[in-house]
Structure 1
């Protein structure tokens, strides 16, 4: 009998819905490959029982808090069960957008400036006019985003000062810290990493003013281009930036980095996703397919990276 594999999906983060879709698709692929896999939702199953039930490996398909922030990785380290994706420290660092950007900047990698981190407690204490003044130095529009969250949940593009307070309040629903950064107009790309390989970059075109939750998962008007349309030199430059960005935060196995190409043809790093979505709308499988990997090949490869 083959090793018993647990596929973790669901959880209690705001990204639960996407995690369920990703996890079930992964589980079905493993079952069709004849692998002894069982889907587990941590909401219904105490993870400390994984050893007791004989699980030898875990495929993590939990998105957001509790999945990508090092929590689950810490539990599995304690249980001494191998798992897919990056380790505890890299997961915890990259879940924090501000911290990731700070490290990237230290290593001379291109990030969006100016930006400003605002804590919920400080927001209550600080004079709101002071915050307005600080943000006006950025010049509108700005992006307001939860510092530790994914799937574009809680993100707003603020073009008028009148909308600032509501955008901040909305963002605080998802995280105790929010990141406020200058809006950069440009073209968005996402680049997957599988083991030591950079997957073909994907260019994203979306109908709204930014790549929001609806555009990511539900709208059929969002377009993906793979090949990306970048010339050879520009694509090489992008891959070099992405690889360095991946390595300096010591991520490994598999993941995705989002990047914007501004109007001056300069790449700016946005964020890392250490457990990319694997739904029918997800980008990671699209890039892998372009490299010749079917969804089944991809799932198997990710699972076997943690031997």
Structure 2
């Protein structure tokens, strides 16, 4: 695991531990828990982030067990028959990373099923998973982020020239809608940029090319626990 992914995973674990603490205090999406409920920790899925999801899910499952909750672990490989699998449980603790588990699809399904769940709702999940749309929202609120060029998978050549014109090297290349640093590339020049964009477009669709900003990398997680936003400790 690369150093960047290790840092990301460490921060993710911290966020999940805090989320478990909030849950045990009785707060989660759509329902105030006042007593023990039958909980299912849902993890796995079929995205490139499956292995990260499995590790996270098992960690959350163990933490909830230690706190005395009635909880089961459900590791899935796909989504066929999922409503039936979730039927016995009161609350879903969704730890699926990437794909339908994180882009609002699963959240919408759970809303339609009337299942309370941990985490953001369908719209917030969809917007957060789409890096380009998230950056547009940040800009609308006056929150700066690295300059970028969106390269649609079927218009690579044209957009690649725009990236070379609008941005200065080095470049950061990533899928438009993946997490966990999946398929993240750094490119120093035109040739490396073209190679990275082609690889990401072939495997993941639309590509985001950003300017590289050197310096310290700080991460601040944010949770809402029923009493307002709560900022987690800042990590470097």
> Normalising by the residue count of structure 2, what TM-score does the alignment of the two structures yield?
0.78
Residue 46 of structure 1: which of 81, 84, 100 is its match?
81
Distance in 2 (CA, whole Å) between partners of 1:145 and 1:8 is 27
* Aligned pairs for 1:99-138 within 5 A: 99-113=133-147, 115-123=148-156, 126-127=157-158, 131-132=160-161, 134-138=163-167
Asked if residue 141 in structure 1 is aligned to residue 175 in structure 2, the reply is no
* Aligned pairs for 1:229-268 within 5 A: none
Root mean square deviation of aligned Cα: 1.9
Residue 129 of structure 2: which of 78, 88, 95 is its match?
95
Distance in 2 (CA, whole Å) between partners of 1:43 and 1:133 is 39
Aligned pairs, how many?
197
Residue 191 of structure 1: which of 214, 220, 223 is its match?
220
Quote how far apart the aligned CAs of 1:174 are. Answer: 4.6
- Give the corresponding residue for 1:76: 110
Contact between 1:149 and 1:174, CA under 8 Å: does it hold in 2? Answer: no
Q: What SS class does the counterpart of residue 219 from structure 2 fall into?
A: strand
More helix by share: 2
Runs of 4+ residues deviating >4 angstroms: none
Identify which range, 181-190 or 161-170, moves more after superposition: 161-170
Quote how far apart the aligned CAs of 1:175 are. Answer: 2.5
Quote how far apart the aligned CAs of 1:50 are. Answer: 4.1
Distance in 2 (CA, whole Å) between partners of 1:16 and 1:76 is 20
Contact between 2:183 and 2:200, CA under 8 Å: does it hold in 1? Answer: yes
Distance in 2 (CA, whole Å) between partners of 1:155 and 1:51 is 34
Residue segments in structure 2 that go unaligned for 5+ positions in a row: 1-34
Asked if residue 165 in structure 1 is aligned to residue 200 in structure 2, the reply is no
Residue segments in structure 1 that go unaligned for 5+ positions in a row: 204-307
